[in-house]
A and B are shown apart, each in its own frame.
Chain A
Amino acid sequence: MTRGQIEILLVEDNQDDVELTLHALRKENLANSIHVARDGEEALEFLFCGGQFSERSFDHPPRLVLLDLKLPKVDGMEVLKRLKADARTRTIPVVILTSSREERDLVSSYNLGVNSYIQKPVDFDQFRETVKTVGLYWLLINQAPVSEPAAHSAQGAAGAR
């Protein structure tokens, strides 16, 4: 991983969902700056620069985490909890993207400080629209507190890989 900074961390265990999400983001030129973690453990290693990601640095956190809830090993709620409990990762925006519409999941996610909670729409057009909106909102419109080189936009980063 050289110049291409990771803008989005997608935490999703279902290969089909990964493919569809990447497809949706590809339209917006966002797909190249995505790292996909296939379970909660990998996501935590990526975020906390441990395990296979030990050469990563906290200076370049992803600008958005798309998090599924039902995940192998460490579930999404636990990932969220650990992320929001640590001062180094607390400011990274986390959007939960899940099939679950359980009231309980919603309440606990917001209690843990999630930035957004979105139920994956069944209709692909809607899904694509949702992913696009979320990506553009958090990467372009939203003002992040970190003073990292936010100057190069999502498009710029995508081309730099």
Chain B
Amino acid sequence: MKTPPARSVIIQVVLLAGVLPWLLSLAAYFAFGSAQHVHERLHEGLELIGSCTALAVAMLLWLRSRQDKESPHLLWVAAALVAMGLVDAAHALAPSGVAWSWLRHGATLVGGVLFGLIWLPLPAFAIRRKQFFMLTVAALAIAGSLGIWWYPDILPAPWGPGGYTFAVKTVNVFGGLGFLAAALYFFRRYLRHPHPESLVFASQSLLFGVASLLFGYSHVWAADWWVWHGCRLLAYAVVLLAAYEFVIKLYQQIVRDGQELEARTVDLRRASLYARSLLEASLDPLVTISREGKITDVNEATETATGIPRDRLIGSDFSDYFTDPEKARQGYRLVFEERSVRDYPLAIRHASGQVMEVLYNASVFKNEAGEVEGVFAAARDITRRKQAEDEVRKLNRELEERVHRRTAQLHESEQRVRRKLESILSPEGDLGNLELADILDVPAVQAMAEDLYHLIPIPAAIIDLKGNFLVAVGLQEICSKFHRANPESCRNCIESDVHLTQGVAPGEFRSYKCKNNMWDVVTPILVAGEHLANLFTGQFFFADDPPDYESFRAQAKRYGFDEKEYLAALDKAPRLTREQLSATMSFFMKFAQLLSQMSYSSVKLARSMTETTRVNAQLEASVKELEAFTYSVSHDLRAPLRHISGFSKILTEEFGSSLPEDAQHHLHRIQEGTRRMGVLVDDLLNLARVGRRDLSMRITGLNSLVNEVIAELKPEMEGRNVEWRLADLPFVECDSGLMKQVLQNLLANALKFTRPRAQAIIEVGQQEQNGTTLIYVRDNGVGFSMKYADKLFGVFQRLHRPEDFEGTGVGLATVQRIIQKHGGRTWAEAELDKGAIFYFTIGTCEKSELKSKTAVAGDLS
């Protein structure tokens, strides 16, 4: 950094630019005396130097005022210096005379006024307006100068016999005061902000001011006249000093800017290198593509991926390096449309022909002006991922297939089980779907057969029609180790088991030589006429028919059996006489028949059990349906009943008096009918509701229920002599609302049927019977004949004529339904004209300490 100029430098400049010309001018004055032409040349020189200095300084100040918005005064100073410089130049160049003199004074006036205007608060002009202002000032200065030069006659003579005229003196004093005012402004400014520049301008203004004030009192070409010229020159020098400082600063600024620029360039280069190295460090192929689709830049990974060097890649068409160039171009167009694309799948073809599956992420990039320059694209190698995905997909497919196969197997097996169940349980089920294993207790039969074999060592087996062994004992080595062990000879066995056994009637047997030349005997097992399996004995030789060893040797050779071992096994097979066989088979036939019958019975049993369950469920459903029906019918019957009752009543009340007696009687019968029907319907509804209702069980004291009911029956007892005999009744767990209905019905009945008795006796009590508590209601009423006892609890069943005892025939049905719902039982005993006794039990009767003292309600009568 440059340091600000030292004070000594300022002094030097002042001396050089100011004092020296001033001293020189004085020296010249004394040296050349009155030689006027020398004076004139010297004066021209000084004035030109001054005006050039002024213009130069004005230009610098102008430049500064463009940057420095804080110092609006600079514009005034610059304008003043421009005007002064221009008019001074004219003064320097003009020939001595009136115009010459007035130009001098004009310069002072213009400069002074413009300097003095510095006091005016000047707004920060816009630069364009500043330019206009400066040009105007310059133009006016030139125009004024030329006007004075060309038309000196219009001006008065500047000097008279006593020196300068008053006008000249006034103009100079006026200008001088302007300069002094400016000096004051700058001093003030300096005092507030001690900046050297303000001091420079203050001293300059002071010099100008003093020079101007005194200039009018000097004599042209005289020494004092020169002194004041020197003063002005000194003022210019001072300004030049300020300008100098400004130039220095400007220079420093430029140097600093240069350094900064350099540093920034270095940074930029470093950043660019960093960016480049990042690009190169990327393992993903990166590429930039121009708008025309040509590659403009690539990284190393791109070179690796394509196998083509950078210089050949750059400038070539990007789509050339993909297996599907059209798709690549499509993707490229897409980037321009969408500004970016993600995970666009493509395949890069390496120069060697190898293909790399990639996903492209690409987006457009822009230049500084924001225009799209091209596309930046990054590829991601997904070859491995693809392989892994393929692998996963393959595994999934296999898994799915396995699951599918297994599901199909399960489904098939489930279907089989279902078919079997259907076959067993449905009466029309086809027994052909059944296998013997489904209905036979195979392990039990196997155990039995084994026991038998210990007793009588004759081989036996139950084989179904597909050739599966269900039961087998005493299987011979010849069979298990040889014939059934070899696939080919085993096929012979199964074919023999299945085909040579057909067409044997139940209860018969057939003996035959199997395809492996062994004797077998078979009898069929039939279930419900279906042939399901065969019972075998076999792998023996008849004692009177020894085996044909030659043919067995040939067989050993054919199936690759070890001949020696094979023949040894052959010898181990039992030899039976024909009688033995006959007896054995007789046993086995009976055994097979027994099996058949047992199996069939178990099927029939299972079927009948299912049927019973089904019928029970149907029955339950019908009962429910019936109850629902009863309820809805009763419910719907009430409305018309109400209407009949209503209108007949209205008829009676409003028109009764005008109706004949017969009609009135009929109306009365209608009303009575509807009333009875209403009661009937309500009773039916109630019965239906009992069936539909869920019980809400509570421990309830029966005595309190009985008392409630008796209280409600009070109107029925009006004018009657009734004796209630109430015993201590238990607390029971029941639905108290329903239990009250039971007691209501029973007590109301007792009250009703004792009506003919002068003294009605109604007893409510309990008794133990086989550990169960019975509750009973006994009366001394009209009773009934026990031959109708079974009808007693049926709906609408009545044992009395309605004229004798009213009633609907629903009450006892309701009682029974409620007791049944409680898991109890109800019945009655009676004797005609002696009275009746109704019993009921409740599922859970318990005696309780809590039972209240019975309030004997006998006094109610």
A79 to B648, CA, bound (A): 32
A99-B639, A122-B681, A123-B678 known; A23-B645 Cβ under 8 A:
no
Instruction: Determine whether the beta carbon of B650 is less than 8 Å from that of A23.
Output: yes
Q: What distance in Å separates the Cβ of A132 from its nearest Cβ neighbour in chain B?
A: 14
Cβ–Cβ contact B643 & A16, under 8 A: yes
- Residue from the list A17, A23, A122 in contact with B682, Cβ < 8 A: A122
Distance in Å from the Cβ of B367 to the closest Cβ of chain A? 68
Near B by CB (< 8 A), chain A positions 1-43 give 14, 16-17, 20, 23
Q: Is the interface of B mostly helix, strand, loop or mixed?
A: helix
Distance (whole angstroms) from the CB of A92 to the closest CB of chain B: 26
Q: Which residues from chain B contact A125 at a C-beta distance below 8 Å?
A: 649
Segment 39-79 of B: residues with Cβ below 8 Å from A: none
Q: Give Cα A101–Cα B648 distance, bound, in whole angstroms.
A: 25
A17 and B639 in contact, given A122-B674, A123-B675 (Cβ under 8 angstroms): yes
Residues of chain B within 8 A of A17, CB atoms compared? 639, 642-643
| Chain A hits for B156, CB < 8 A | none
Bound-complex Cα distance A14 to B635 (A):
15
Q: Mark B642-685, 1 if CB is under 8 A from A, else 0.
A: 11011111100000000000000000000000110110011001
Residues of chain A with a CB closer than 8 A to B439's CB: none
Known: A122-B674, A123-B675, A123-B678. Contact between A20 and B642, CB under 8 A?
yes
Q: Do B646 and A99 have beta carbons less than 8 Å apart?
A: no
- Residues in A with CB closer than 8 Å to B645 are 122-124, 127
* Interface membership of B124, Cβ < 8 A: no
Counting chain A residues whose Cβ lies within 8 A of the other chain, the interface size class is: 10 to 19
Chain B residues, Cβ within 8 Å of A123? 645, 675, 678
Please classify how large the interface on chain B is, using the bins under 10, 10 to 19, 20 to 34, 35 or more: 20 to 34
Query: Please, which residue of chain A has its CB at the minimum distance from the CB of B671?
Result: A124
Tell whether, in the assembled complex, residue A20 and residue B639 are in contact, meaning their CB atoms are under 8 Å apart. no
Residues of B435-470 at the interface with A, using a CB-CB cut-off of 8 Å, are none
A63 at the interface (CB under 8 A from B): no
- Known contacts: A122-B678, A123-B678, A124-B649. The answer to whether A101 contacts B643 by CB under 8 A is no
Tally inter-chain residue pairs, CB-CB below 8 A: 52
**Cα distance, A120 to B645, chains bound together (Å):** 12
Chain A residues near B682 (CB-CB < 8 A)? 122
Residues in A with CB closer than 8 Å to B635 are 99-101
A99 and B643 in contact (CB under 8 A), knowing A122-B674, A125-B649? no
Q: Please report the C-alpha to C-alpha distance between residue A27 and residue B88 in the assembled complex, in whole angstroms.
A: 132
B685 near A101 with CB under 8 A, answer: yes
Q: How far is the CA of A99 from the CA of B633 in the complex (A)?
A: 12
Bound Cα distance from A99 to B334, whole angstroms: 76
- Contact indicator A122/B642 (Cβ below 8 Å): yes
Residues of B within 8 A of A99 (CB): 635, 638-639, 642
User: Are A16 and B638 in contact, with the CB atoms below 8 A?
Assistant: no
Q: Is B641 an interface residue (CB 8 A)?
A: yes
Q: Does A127 contact B650, Cβ atoms closer than 8 Å?
A: no
In Å, the complex CA distance between A102 and B646 comes to 23
B341 CB, nearest partner CB in chain A, Å? 56
- Minimum Cβ distance to chain A for residue B605 (Å): 44
For A103, the chain B residues whose CB sits under 8 A away are: 693
Q: Which residues of A contact B643 (CB under 8 A)?
A: 14, 16-17, 20
Q: How far is the CB of A17 from chain B (nearest CB, A)?
A: 7
Say whether, besides A122-B678, A123-B678, A16 and B685 are in contact (CB < 8 Å): no
What A residues does B689 contact at CB under 8 A? 101
* A73-110 Cβ-contact flags toward B at 8 Å (1 or 0): 00000000000000000000000000111010000000
Q: Which of B642, B648, B675, B693 contacts A127 (CB 8 A)?
A: B642
Closest beta carbon of chain A to B530's beta carbon, Å: 54
Beyond A17-B643, A101-B685, whether A122 also contacts B649 by CB under 8 A is: no
The docked-state distance in angstroms from the alpha carbon of A121 to that of B678 is 9
Contact yes or no, B685 A127, CB < 8 A: no
Residues of A within 8 A of B639 (CB): 14, 16-17, 99, 120
Chain A 128-158 against B: per-residue CB contact (8 Å), 1 yes, 0 no?
A: 0000000000000000000000000000000
- With a CB–CB cut-off of 8 A, which chain A residues contact B650? 20, 23, 124
Most buried by A among B639, B648, B677: B639
Sample 7 A-B pairs with CB under 8 A, ordered by A number: A17-B639, A20-B647, A99-B639, A122-B641, A123-B678, A124-B648, A127-B642
Given contacts A20-B647, A127-B645, 14 further A-B contacts (CB under 8 A): A16-B639, A16-B643, A17-B643, A20-B643, A20-B646, A99-B638, A122-B638, A122-B674, A122-B675, A122-B677, A122-B681, A124-B642, A124-B649, A124-B650
